[in-house]
A = this chain, B = another copy of it.
Amino acid sequence: MLADRLGPLTPSKAAALTDAAVPPSRLSGPPLTRLVAAAGGEGAVLVDDASRARHAGGQAYADLVRRRRGDASAAPDAVVVVPDAAAVQRVLAVCSEERLAVVPWGGGTSVVGGLDPVADGCQAVVALDLSRLDAMVDVDETSLLATFQPGIRTPAVEAALERHGLTLGHVPQSFERASLGGYVVTRSAGQASTGVGRFDDLVAGVRLAAPAGELVLAAQAGSAAGPDLRRLVLGSEGTLGVVTEVTVRVHRRPQRRHYEGWMLPDWESGQEALRRLAQDGPRPDIARLSDPTETEVSLSMSRAGRLTRAAMARYLQLRNVSTGCLLITGYESSDDDVRHRRRRVRGILRKAGAVRLGTAAGRSWEHSRFAAPALRDTLLDVGALAETLETAATWSRLPALYDGVRRALTDSLGRCVVGCHISHLYSSGASLYFTVLAAAQPGGEEEQWTRAKAAANEAVVAAGGTITHHHAVGTAHRDHVTGDLGGALGVDVLRAVKATLDPNGVMNPGKLLPD
């Protein structure tokens, strides 16, 4: 199918990590000695090629392409694996004094260049690996609050909470690898954000270690005590300091999880039905509507494909329409609440012309909900460019945003497949998540995508969308983020905050703030 849609593909082979060309480390002498002492001993500072190569970027298409090529020229000069929050504070002090750039490193899943080891005038770059800060610090079952160290990954979070009958419920596609601290600084949104909310909403308290000292923003239920500085830490992308502790709102594990599939007559009626659910309720906890292209790709790749295609064929026959849009709805709650909401959602969807595909389609989505990142490697093997981008806008701006981004991508890439889905609902609007496939240009992969991405960024800004709904800014969006930050004065405000917390400018240089 791919060759048919994308034209001839040139397969490529991935280099082994051990073959990666890593330049010599710029870190030596007194700065290295001080760093070792601050981090807690020799074993805490890794300068071997393999460790450094593993920390040379995240999971953007450009990262993957460079890695496959065996290019680790951008590897950090050292990887510092800290044992505790006190060590983080000490390491930051040394890095600030010695002018060593610090890239905080959680799960390594940034897709926007947030982990690029940019020196920006510093002597060297250090990746600050937080994977050993992986404990649950406290759980308050009365207040449904749990405090974690930043390096813990979501499966471990859920395992720790399960022992108390609790769940966090934050389930992004990076669920298996991403760290809790990463969710804070990138303002993550998970697949169930329509129900549990964005990660922004789940953070009740946070501690930030910065070169200038520590910010301790304890958990509060609600407050009017000045601007909420937690919201400055949320989305700070490591440019202000390192999150050393986060207190999240958790909830009791749901009695029931129910996912099911629907087929909507078209993209417009699907959007209208979702808007109705988001604004007037009841909301499903998960709602994911695919456009016709994504629907077609999903069905052809789905485990339950045959079953769903049969249902779709029945649908097409019954309704005499030529296309359809797949919708997955999910509920995670008490039996009574799931029953009540499902009944009412069903009525609203049927009025919108939807045909129920049943739980097989829901299970199929559930089964493959974390599969896309791995699938990308397979696509790169066969010679396809595979990348995603996401945005959001108010409901009234959504149609123009959808058209504008699709046009920008297809104009730039030529023969390509651009699918899209809506997966995060708000009363005022929704997200758009685009998946792009094209024949990769051998040797020119990065330029090919950089050009397409720039065109998409411009289309997003032109249509009044946000430059990123849940992937953060990193290096990929910094040239187009000024509007989201309120204009040049907003950028000045963030620079002033950074100058206070990070006076020597060592924290994650080159990310978030435009030049």
Contacts and interface: CB of A to CB of B under 8 A. Distances in A.
A501 B486 CA distance: 13
Interface string A22-54: 000000000000000000000000000000000
Nearest to A467: B225
A325 B408 CA distance: 62
Contact of A226 (B235, B280, B469): B235
A-B interface, 5 closest residue pairs, ranked by CB to CB distance from nearest: A221-B429, A225-B484, A231-B231, A187-B224, A143-B394
Interface stretch (A67-75, A156-164, A470-478): A470-478
Contacts of A393: 220-221
A509 to B, nearest CB: 15
A489 B210 contact: yes
A494 interface: yes
Most-contacted residue by chain B among A204, A221, A472 (CB, 10 A): A221
A444 interface: no
A492 B500 contact: yes
Interface string A121-153: 000000000000000000010111100000000
B344 A466 contact: no
Contacts of A228: 187, 200, 231, 234-235
A488 to B, nearest CB: 8
Given A145-B394, A221-B393, A222-B429, 16 more contacts: A140-B394, A140-B396, A213-B489, A217-B486, A217-B490, A218-B464, A221-B430, A225-B467, A226-B484, A226-B512, A227-B234, A228-B235, A229-B485, A229-B493, A251-B279, A496-B500
Interface string A195-214: 00010100010001010111
14 contacts: A142-B275, A142-B395, A142-B396, A187-B224, A187-B228, A212-B489, A216-B486, A221-B393, A222-B392, A222-B424, A224-B472, A227-B235, A251-B280, A489-B501
A232 interface: yes
A252 interface: yes
B223 A486 contact: no
A404 B486 CA distance: 42
Nearest to A236: B227
B224 A188 contact: yes
Contacts of A289: none
A443 interface: no
Contacts of A235: 224-228
Interface size classification for chain A:
35 or more
Contacts of A252: 279-280
Contacts of A275: 142
B489 A223 contact: no
A403 interface: no
B140 A220 contact: no
A226 B481 contact: yes
B500 A219 contact: no
B500 A226 contact: no
Contacts of A431: 221-222
Nearest to A397: B143
A483 B429 CA distance: 35
Most-contacted residue by chain B among A198, A220, A392 (CB, 10 A): A220
A339 to B, nearest CB: 11
A229 B428 contact: no
A192 to B, nearest CB: 14
A293 interface: no
Most-contacted residue by chain B among A140, A187, A224, A429 (CB, 10 A): A224
A140 to B, nearest CB: 5
A222 B483 contact: no
A4 interface: no
A225 B394 contact: no
Most-contacted residue by chain B among A189, A214, A395, A428 (CB, 10 A): A428
Contacts of A233: 227
A427 B493 contact: no
A496 B470 CA distance: 28
Given A252-B279, A490-B217, A222 B189 contact: yes
Contacts of A188: 224
Contacts of A214: 487, 489
A344 B216 CA distance: 39
B396 A485 contact: no
Nearest to A333: B281
